[in-house]
Amino acid sequence: MQQNSAAPKNMVDASIQEVPYPHRKGMPVLILGLLLSLIDIAGIIYGAFQIETAENPVLFAVCMILLFFLWIPLAGLRVLQPQEALVLTLFGKYVGTLRKEGFYFINPFCSAVNPAAKTQLKQSGDVNDAASGRGDAINEIAVTGKKMSLKAMTLNNSRQKINDCLGNPVEIGMAVIWRVVDTAKAAFLVDNYKAYLSLQCDSALRNIVQIYPYDVAPNVDTTGDGLADEGSLRGSTEVVCKRIRDEIQSRVQSAGLEVLDARITYLAYAPEIAAVMLQRQQAAAIIDARRMIVDGAVGMVEMALDRLSEGGHVELDEERKAAMVSNLLVVLCGNRDAQPVVNSGTLYGG
């Protein structure tokens, strides 16, 4: 059953592939069309004089008809900028893609297809952004038409609130650098390749974030090998971004898109738990600092006792050693400066 269900998908992918469109240079066609138009206009003027002199009016009528048909080939002239493409169809059938920059002549009855031409997402390849007005978007659409951009574009998806593997809600934002590599698949296999990419980015981000904790946590397996590791969203950014990129690429490859890179642009705990998590981090930092101070103080006390014993200058019994250790630990581990006290007696009250 699985083989039968997988076969149609492969057949669909194989049936729609980008093919080059057989084009011609546009400049000879433009020059020839303009020359014929000038000749035809001259014929119209000459035919008009014949009508005034009551001579044969057929020339005027024929030249008028030819003038209409001479402008049809000029409608097939196209100009392509670098990293632009035209996906062309003829009466609903895909006939090829024009990629290379230049001035070309194509079948004037061909129409360009770009289902995402008017799609507005938060990315560099949009026809309009949040800062520009509606009039700018209309002008941009009129200029670009149905051309499909082949440039590397950046998609900045909105921040999402996702629970990490420990159930803590985190807010995360992501930027994806992508481009179109197969124009036919992008135009015909999905309804809107920009919206499709945005949806797949959200889904892939959610799937990967749920594997990792925000910070390093014990007994958490993020690699799937059954062993606990130190992977986290905050500390393993490169690994997380690579897994997100691979996840998105596996989802959009059938649509003719290539994901070049994926980066986390924003990462923080959700506002409802941010204050509590900040206190937790501060407490952990204080504990680590105290542990380091105590370890250093114990080492210094041991060194002081060893140096006094080696020199033989002072003989300390167990009680005096305990008092000395207590005093040194108070001085080294205290938060305030030590206040010296002059003792005129002895430890034994003498």
List the domains of the chain with CATH numbers. Answer: 15-112 (no CATH), 151-269 (3.30.479.30), 276-333 (no CATH)
- Residue 137 near residue 128, CB atoms below 8 Å: yes
Helices (H), ranges, 90-172: 134-144
Q: What is the mean pLDDT of the chain?
A: 77
What are the tens digits of pLDDT across the range 199-256? 999 999 999 999 998 888 888 888 878 788 888 888 888 999 999 999 999 999 989 9
Nearest one of 73, 96, 87, 72 to 22, comparing CA atoms = 96
Record the pTM. Answer: 0.67
Residues of the chain with pLDDT under 50: 1-12, 14, 124-144, 350
- Residue 172 near residue 162, CB atoms below 8 Å: yes
Distance of CA 49 to the CA centre of its chain: 67
What are the tens digits of pLDDT across the range 47-86? 776 665 556 667 777 777 777 777 788 888 889 899 999 9
Nearest one of 157, 160, 182, 159 to 248, comparing CA atoms = 157
Write phi, then psi, for 226 (nearest 5 degrees). 85, 0
Count how many residues are written for the chain.
350
Tokens of 220: 């958490």
Q: How far is residue 240 from each of residues 127, 262, 294, measured CA to CA in Å?
A: 31, 9, 36
- Residue 79 near residue 103, CB atoms below 8 Å: yes
Q: How far apart are CA 140 and CA 41, in angstroms?
A: 35
Q: How far is residue 64 from each of residues 26, 113, 121, measured CA to CA in Å?
A: 25, 33, 48
